[in-house]
Amino acid sequence: MRITMSLLAAAALIVMARGAHAQAHAHVNEPAHAPSGVRVDVNAAISALVDEEDVDGDRKITIADCGGPHTTRGDKKFLLRSVDGRRLEVSGTYYLSNLLQELTLARERGEDTADIAADRIFEAPTLHLSRIIRDVCWSGLTRRMDAGGLHAILADEKMTARGGLTYVYVPEEDTAAVGYYRGVVSGKAFDTVRLMTVPPVMTEKFLHTLDGRHGILSLALAAGAGGESTPVPFVVPGGRFNELYGWDSYFITLGLIADRKFEMARSMVDQHVYEIMRYGKILNANRTYYLTRSQPPFLTSMARAVYETMEKNDVSRAWLRSVLIAAIREHAAVWMGPDRLTRTGLSRYFDTGTGPCPEVEAGHYDDVFANFARRHRMTPREFEQAYRRGAVKDRELDDYFLHDRAMRESGHDTSYRLVGRAANLATVDLNALLYKIETDIAELLRDEFSGALSIGEGKTVRSTEYAAMAVKRKVLVNTYLWDADSGIYYDYDAVKRARTGYLSAASLYPLWAGLASPEQAASLVARALPVLELPGGIASSSEASRGAVSAERKERQWDFPNGWPPHQMLAWEGLRRYGYDSIAMRLAYRWLYTMTINAVNYNGTITEKLNVEARTHDVFAEYGNVGTKFSYITREGFGWSNASYQVGLPLLTPSMREALDRLVPPEWLFTP
């Protein structure tokens, strides 16, 4: 693959693009004589700008705002009036949306009049989007479970408790937390909030008591300046995901580190350590309905990334020790425990709960219940109610929910790769992640703790133990998951005793984990990557593996043609690990171009996933696309998408970055 990257060539391509893409894309060309800035009446400017250019009334300025032939509304030309009477023209969707964003930020600062700088309005796209992520989005996604932030966290659109009450659950052994939250919820502002405790051993009986009164689970406290307890902050994914999530947090942490927000990155690790020590595992998220379920494990990778930013001394080593103890505990009790260890010696995703998942959107299981209702000669509603209260039994439906819950622990909910069989599968992604954890623990024990670490209760663990575990897992992965004929890793069905043959982005995880041999890596690059690589980045699966979709067989969000930020970042790093830097740059450019063109055309929109075949954020499979609902300016973006932008930009060469600012499509830069 040859990369054509001279600035002269890029400029020539821009000229070629004028005719072909002028309608579809908002090309960015900074005005030759832009004024340095202008002082404006903020509210008047917003009102006039929205009235003239927000034709569809969504409180954004996008390429969808098109006026009729006999009106100036939506003509993408706006005269910005200064307080001293000057009128300055701003033209083009991108520049107008930047103006709207800057005016909105000024209004949020409480400014009646404000100096609007030209370099902010006419800022290059990569600089603008990266700055908004760094200065606005991370703050918009930061939460604290204190008196000021608790109400926002308690509001959970995924679940409504009975009786108009909301619940805060605290580990009963965490006496400091019990005392803190008892004080918080005693105020008048929390008269509908009830404080509950979680026992150290969560029995099935306790879990059943949560029905109808699910709530938020408390997280770590720290000592404040005066010695009082204060909740540790954390960053949420965004939108309807308004709590601390498991695997999202790893990628969010990488983004925080890229933006030098080191203390917040450390807080993210501390919160996951707290979950393991108090709730037994890193949770899908800190809600009670997730107590039976984890998510893909990234703790040691998070810790290593944060530890690299810390000064090496006794304090940082003590911190690392606490993380390792938690990681060792979770590895043994959860991922190598009887629920998740398969007969192959490899691990699977699982959920120890039963029945429908409480957090799914209303109506999500309607088709499932309708299919089984016919078998029982009942209406769908009658059957659902009877099944939920245990009045009707159906073993096949029980199995469906067993697999559905396991799929949700995988984070890939939903995908035809996992539907109806997730709990039977030793998956490539999970076992690559566990190999990475085992090698991380082995290396950290060797390099930072002289090869051995006391973890309490008279037990000492050694680097050699975890190195041996990693070697054993690698042998098992090559035995069960590596398909020599196709030269690709596939999930293994432990019930059918066969590989599934379903090609997904998970097949690339062994590159990131360092599990693949150089020969296996070369095979993945030659055989898997050409199928998964689409114009906008890496697809979640191949189209052939997904199969045909129809009204009866609906599209799944974790399948072709959709691409997700974690898959992109893992692929970039995995390819770089094996020396395929130019391919990693090409893939990063594809993804960043897709993010950038959508942000330029749609008022800075940053969404949780993208259609990488069509390079659009218009993805409406299953749950829609989080990140599209905002007014005037995106205050959150989406956690791991924000991170992918900040992590991806440094991978580009200066000439690639220049081309991206000029919105040069990938196919004009990368030639066979």
According to the model, what pLDDT value does residue 35 have? 56
Identify the DSSP state of 516. S
Could you give the angle at the alpha carbon of 512 between the alpha carbons of 511 and 516, nearest 5°?
30
Give yes or no for residue 22 having a pLDDT over 70: no
Could you give the angle at the alpha carbon of 158 between the alpha carbons of 156 and 162, nearest 5°?
75
Comparing 212 with 294, the larger pLDDT belongs to 294
Range with lowest mean pLDDT among 80-84, 221-225, 431-435: 221-225
**421, 460 contact by CB (below 8 A):** no
457's tokens: 């209760």
Give yes or no for residue 41 having a pLDDT over 90: yes
Give yes or no for residue 33 having a pLDDT over 70: no
According to the model, what pLDDT value does residue 151 have? 86
Amino acid letter, residue 598: N
Give yes or no for residue 4 having a pLDDT over 80: no
Q: What's the average model confidence in pLDDT over 75-87?
A: 92
Q: Each residue of 196-213: pLDDT tens digit? A: 999 999 898 999 999 889
Identify the DSSP state of 135. I
The whole-angstrom separation of Cα 161 and Cα 194 is 11
Give yes or no for residue 285 having a pLDDT over 50: yes
Give yes or no for residue 9 having a pLDDT over 60: no
According to the model, what pLDDT value does residue 71 have? 80
**63, 597 contact by CB (below 8 A):** no
According to the model, what pLDDT value does residue 10 have? 39
Identify the DSSP state of 417. T
**353, 423 contact by CB (below 8 A):** no
Give yes or no for residue 26 having a pLDDT over 70: no
432 pLDDT band (50/70/90 cuts)?
very high
Give yes or no for residue 118 having a pLDDT over 70: yes
According to the model, what pLDDT value does residue 14 have? 36
Q: Each residue of 327-345: pLDDT tens digit? A: 999 999 999 999 999 999 9
According to the model, what pLDDT value does residue 25 have? 43
What are the φ and ψ backbone dihedral angles of 235, each rounded to 5 degrees?
-115, 130
Give yes or no for residue 21 having a pLDDT over 70: no
Give yes or no for residue 78 having a pLDDT over 80: yes
Which parts of 166-214 fold into alpha helices (H)?
A: 175-185, 204-209
Q: Cβ–Cβ contacts within 10 Å for residue 581, how many? A: 13
The model carries a pTM of 0.94
According to the model, what pLDDT value does residue 20 have? 31
418's tokens: 């996992």
Comparing 606 with 24, the larger pLDDT belongs to 606
Query: Residues with Cβ < 8 Å from 247, sequence gap 6 or more?
Result: 295, 296, 297, 298, 411, 566
* 3-class state of residue 203 by DSSP: coil
Range with lowest mean pLDDT among 24-28, 537-541, 575-579, 625-629: 24-28
Residues with active-site annotation: 413, 608
Mean per-residue pLDDT of the chain = 92
Query: Residues with Cβ < 8 Å from 186, sequence gap 6 or more?
Result: none
Q: What percent of the chain has pLDDT over 70?
A: 94
According to the model, what pLDDT value does residue 7 have? 37
Residue 197, burial from CB neighbour count under 10 angstroms (0-12, 13-18, 19+) = middle
560 pLDDT band (50/70/90 cuts)?
very high
End-to-end CA distance of the chain: 5
Q: Each residue of 51-62: pLDDT tens digit? A: 999 999 999 999
Give yes or no for residue 2 having a pLDDT over 50: no
According to the model, what pLDDT value does residue 24 have? 38
Q: What's the average model confidence in pLDDT over 387-398?
A: 94
Kindly provide the residue ranges of all beta strands, DSSP E only, lying in 58-165, ordered along the sequence: 77-81, 87-91, 113-117, 142-143
What are the φ and ψ backbone dihedral angles of 173, each rounded to 5 degrees?
-80, -15
Domains detected in the chain: 1-28+506-672 (1.50.10.10), 31-123 (no CATH), 145-335 (no CATH)
SS3 content of the chain, % helix, strand, coil (to 5): 45, 15, 40
Give yes or no for residue 264 having a pLDDT over 60: yes
Q: What's the average model confidence in pLDDT over 394-418?
A: 97
Q: Each residue of 496-534: pLDDT tens digit? A: 999 999 999 999 999 999 999 999 999 999 999 999 999
